[in-house]
Amino acid sequence: MRVRKSYDAYRSHENLLSDARRYPDLWRLFAGLALVSVVVVALNAILFAIIANLTTPGSAAGFLTGASPLALLIVLSSFLFATLGVALSARLFQHRSLASVIGGQSLAIRQFWRVFRALLLLSVAVFALPPYNLGAPLVANLPLARWLLLLPLSIVAVLIQTSAEEILFRGYLQQSLAARFRSPLIWIGLPSILFAAGHYNPATVGDNALLIAIWALTFGILTADLTARAGTLGPAIALHFFNNFMALLVISLPDSLSGLALYHLPYQASDSDALRPWLLVDFALMIVGWLTARLALRR
């Protein structure tokens, strides 16, 4: 009975699967993922070569960390290559459009704004309520006037990055698996595991690498759940965008993707003991954000 209820909750997911079900062969999925990889690697190599020719020797590698506003804008915008790869793969191997991966355009936009507004209200409540002590004082990064001037470009860049990840993981990959397998354990679980693997980076975050990977695994499961309940990628993109807006544009770590943030945390990603309490708070906020999004979709 419980399994049946979970399937009923995901009835809207069928709206995303009609085109994918016409070509459910796994070789099409693997070929599509290979094409996405080729497109991303090739276009990033070209971009990196251009940057290397335009910058001083040795600075191009540092450019990829997004330490300056321009660098981070380019790094985030380069995720458009992944969206292009998905669009080509969906067209060549499943004979479907990128729009069919995202879901109904008007519905996806309405659901995006509904969830995003609810998350904004949640953030206002979180910041307004005690406790007000967030630990060590934050470090100012960009002057407020410059941050506001860059904000329109920053928002577009973060939206490109978060949309690309949702289109790939909760869109193309999830839908292709769901077209072939009935169990959510497969079409939610496998993309979430791959998403977590992409966030496992012990060289940068040290002892917290596994915890961050678990965070990403949980985030992947929750956004997959939202997608299956909503029938579009709109809510998942909204939750992902809101999370990265706060993590990249408001308060970021100082040593990675930090160029557009208004404030930096007073320690680096490798400071495991100092970072761990923030990660635990982030876990709690992620769960609350997911519940908020689900409530917003019910209205």
Question: pLDDT digits over 73-105, tens only?
Answer: 999 999 999 999 999 999 999 999 999 999 989
The pLDDT of residue 264 is 92
**Minimal CA–CA distance to 171: which of 187, 150, 149?**
187
User: Considering Cα of 191, then 156, then 89, then 51, what sign does the dihedral take?
Assistant: negative
Q: What average pLDDT does range 254-280 have in this prediction?
A: 84
Report pLDDT for 135: 62
Q: How far apart are CA 95 and CA 38, in angstroms?
A: 19
Average pLDDT of the residues of the chain: 90
- Residue in the block written with tokens 């070789």: 27
More confident residue, 165 or 56: 165
Q: Can you read off the two tokens belonging to residue 298?
A: 């019910």
CB 48 within 8 Å of CB 59: no
Give just the sign of the alpha carbon dihedral 142, 147, 150, 154.
positive
**Domain containing residue 153:** 2-298
pTM over 0.85, yes/no? yes
Q: What is the pLDDT of residues 20-32, one digit of tens each?
A: 999 999 999 999 9
Determine phi and psi for 251, rounding to 5 degrees.
-130, 115
Task: Say whether pLDDT at 156 is over 70.
Answer: yes
- Predicted local confidence at residue 134, as pLDDT: 57
pLDDT at 64 over 90: no
Burial 257-288 (b: 16+ CB within 10 A, else e): bbbbbbbbbebbbbbeebbeebeeebeebbee
How many domains is the chain built from? 1
pLDDT at 3 over 50: no
Q: How confident is the model at residue 1 (pLDDT cuts 50, 70, 90)?
A: very low
